[in-house]
Amino acid sequence: MPVHIEGAQYSLASYLKGKVRRRLFPKITLTVLPPRRFDLPAALEGRARRRAAGEQLYTILSEMAFATAPVDRTLPQALLEAKARHGGGHVVIEDIERKPMTFRRLVVGVLALGRALAAKTGRGEAVAVLLPNTAGTAVTLFALQMFGRVPAMFNFTAGSATLEAACTAARIRLLVTSRRFVEAARLGEVVERLATKVDILWLEDVRARIGTIERLRAFASFPFAGRIHARHADGPDSPAVILFTSGSEGTPKGVVLSHRNILANCAQLAARIDFSSADTVLAALPVFHAFGLTGGLLLPLLAGVKVFLYPSPLHYRVVPEIAYDTNATILFGTDTFLAGYARVAHPLDFRSLRYVFAGAEKVKDETRRVWAEKFGLRVLEGYGATETAPVLALNTPHAHLAGSVGRLLPGIEARLDPVPGIAEGGRLVVRGPNVMAGYLKVDRPGELQPPTDGWYDTGDIVAIDAQGFIRILGRAKRFAKVAGEMISLGAVEEAVDALWPGFQHAVLALPDERKGERLVLMTSRPGTERAEVSEGLRARGVSELAVPRSVVVRDKLPLLGTGKIDYVTLARDLAAGAGHPE
């Protein structure tokens, strides 16, 4: 019978001194869940039976932790509860300015900025945010939510056309940004074009208008922040944030995540990963990306874990130095970024890390090997989508299988729909409390389009083994039909990566009159010839149909802000004849 005890960890008798703020007479809540029975095969005996029982117990405990997590609230309410739990003087955010921000300073800043932003917007209105990873971005995010506005996080690497489409889809009329950031990132032309569609609000101007009286008012209203938010909030199922899909394989869409969606995903992750306020998260992934927003900012912040926000994951030499300097214990990244850090980092740079989480793209075997040998760290690969807030599955220290993306998080239902021509696995469709409220699209601006019956089609072809571990076989859109056979472009890329690690490789499909489609390899490896590609892939047992018919060598393949290869741009270049294969 699972029984969850909440609050006792804060008592003076708790052994968690230094990890939680202990106090006299904390409120203690007991939650008794329905009885569960272990379902163990009769054939199992000895160690195998104990291992199976342990895995089932682990599953029950994580499900219990998720089931008892408070998700029926808004993000600002969760922030205020975290402040009460850990204390207003607890340091939670720091950035490259090296001015630590406490819960108290964060909430006061949220109240001051929130009133200024509320004066220029309406309740429930979507407001674009074009900012890097800084403490000011976190303040802006919560300032909008505190007063019932919805931050739309803009990808500043996307280009003006994509951002203009986002403004249309979400009916945005105000964009919040910073002159200092726009100048440093050379976004002047982009912002000028956006200014023809929306009003631009510079944070420098807002801060200049917040005088002594406004600051004193914010400080005086600090104890009443919960009541202020209650007057403007629309509840946990209202929109909390709008993110935009990366567009790596199609037109970007606005993804509306509710407060409940995000808090549910935070609770699902907390049910599987052990962390405390003694940890420090190094967050270099941009907060316009779901992985960076939930994993790098909201999850640690609402758990009282200190976050160090760094503005760019592309600074391969600087990020390891920051990790060393801040004694970071948790790092989030993509395979591209982790491989970049590993190339230049000193083995001691990551000496304090406990967890390294990877997502957004498949982790290569070479990346895993280098991190294990050079730093003694296991890269824990996960899987998700912007539409699921974002994490669906995750490897953990307790349940880990190399080459997989782990097991589904608690509270998530899944089914595999069959795909014609593909024998193994199926198309993954999921449902759960972290699945988005819906899409905002350009063809129907401002109209929320929810998923049918709560089910979200990931578009990924996956296989799930008997232990529940998920292997990604490829995107449904990234399969080509060559001579009647379904070929995974991702699998061909993996085989080429194994031949020449350290370079960028992308495989695309072009129409072919004889075989339906033919494969083209685009690579950054100088001098690559089709003959050596063919010979290398055949040696690895790759089918002849899966061998690229032609090779295009480019100095550098285009990347999205998340580090993924930009297949849309590559396909457009091929269609336009740029780098046309022979």
Average pLDDT of 299-318?
Answer: 93
pLDDT per residue as tens digits for the range 175-213: 999 999 999 989 998 899 999 999 999 999 998 888 888
SS3 at position 580: coil
Long-range Cβ pairs for the range 438-444 (8 Å, 24+): 438/256, 439/253, 439/254, 439/255, 439/256, 440/169, 440/170, 440/242, 440/253, 440/254, 440/255, 440/256, 441/169, 441/253, 441/254, 442/165, 442/168, 442/169, 442/251
pLDDT per residue as tens digits for the range 156-173: 887 788 888 899 999 999
Q: How far apart are CA 309 and CA 181, in angstroms?
A: 15
Instruction: Name every residue whose Cβ is closer than 8 Å to that of residue 289 and which is 6 or more positions away in sequence.
Output: 155, 243, 246, 360, 386, 561, 562
| Nearest Cα to Cα of residue 419 among 429, 409, 406, 410 | 429
Average pLDDT of 421-440?
Answer: 89
Percent of the chain with pLDDT over 70: 95
Task: Compute φ and ψ for 284, nearest 5 degrees.
Answer: -105, -20
- Cα-based distances in Å from 139 to 101, 146, 287, 425: 10, 10, 13, 44
| Residue 566 predicted with pLDDT over 80 | no
- Do 472 and 531 touch, CB atoms closer than 8 A? no
Only one residue has tokens 């449904």, namely 476
| Nearest Cα to Cα of residue 499 among 456, 435, 551, 569 | 551
| Residue 248 predicted with pLDDT over 50 | no
pLDDT per residue as tens digits for the range 452-479: 999 999 888 899 988 889 998 877 666 7
Global pTM? 0.83
| Residue 141 predicted with pLDDT over 50 | yes
| More reliable by pLDDT, 277 or 435 | 435
pLDDT per residue as tens digits for the range 479-495: 776 755 667 787 788 88
Q: DSSP assignment of 21-56, as one string?
A: ---SS---EEEEPPP------TT--HHHHHHHHHHH
- The three-point CA angle 279-280-281 to 5° equals 120
| Residue 543 predicted with pLDDT over 70 | yes
Q: What pLDDT shows up at residue 238? A: 94
Q: What pLDDT shows up at residue 580? A: 46
**Rg for the chain (alpha carbons), in Å?**
24
Q: What pLDDT shows up at residue 515? A: 66
pLDDT per residue as tens digits for the range 313-360: 989 999 999 999 999 999 999 888 998 999 999 999 999 999 999 988
Per-residue pLDDT band for 562 (boundaries 50, 70, 90) equals low
**Class of residue 310 by CB neighbours under 10 A (exposed 0-12, middle 13-18, buried 19+):** buried
Q: What pLDDT shows up at residue 485? A: 64
Residue 64 CA from chain centroid, whole number:
24
| More reliable by pLDDT, 413 or 545 | 413
**Mean pLDDT estimate for the chain:** 87
Max mean pLDDT range (102-111, 204-213, 547-556, 568-577): 102-111
| Residue 132 predicted with pLDDT over 70 | yes
Omega within 30 of 0 (cis) for the link into 390:
yes
Residue 251 CA from chain centroid, whole number:
19
SS3 content of the chain, % helix, strand, coil (to 5): 35, 25, 40
| Residue 427 predicted with pLDDT over 50 | yes
Q: What pLDDT shows up at residue 579? A: 45
Q: How far apart are CA 172 and CA 411, in angstroms?
A: 33
Q: Which amino acid is at 285?
A: L
- Cα-based distances in Å from 286 to 290, 291, 305: 9, 8, 18
| Residue 63 predicted with pLDDT over 70 | yes
| Residue 66 predicted with pLDDT over 80 | yes
Average pLDDT of 260-272?
Answer: 94
Q: How far apart are CA 520 and CA 509, in angstroms?
A: 6
- Do 448 and 439 touch, CB atoms closer than 8 A? yes
| Residue 576 predicted with pLDDT over 70 | no
pLDDT per residue as tens digits for the range 395-408: 998 888 888 999 99
Q: Quick one: tokens of 158?
A: 């996307």
| Residues 455, 459, 462, 468, CA torsion sign | negative
Percent of the chain with pLDDT over 90: 48
pLDDT per residue as tens digits for the range 351-389: 999 999 998 888 888 889 999 999 999 999 999 989 999
Q: What pLDDT shows up at residue 424? A: 80
| Residue 79 predicted with pLDDT over 80 | yes
Other CB atoms within 10 Å distance of the CB of residue 13: 7
Average pLDDT of 128-136?
Answer: 94
Q: How far apart are CA 567 and CA 421, in angstroms?
A: 23
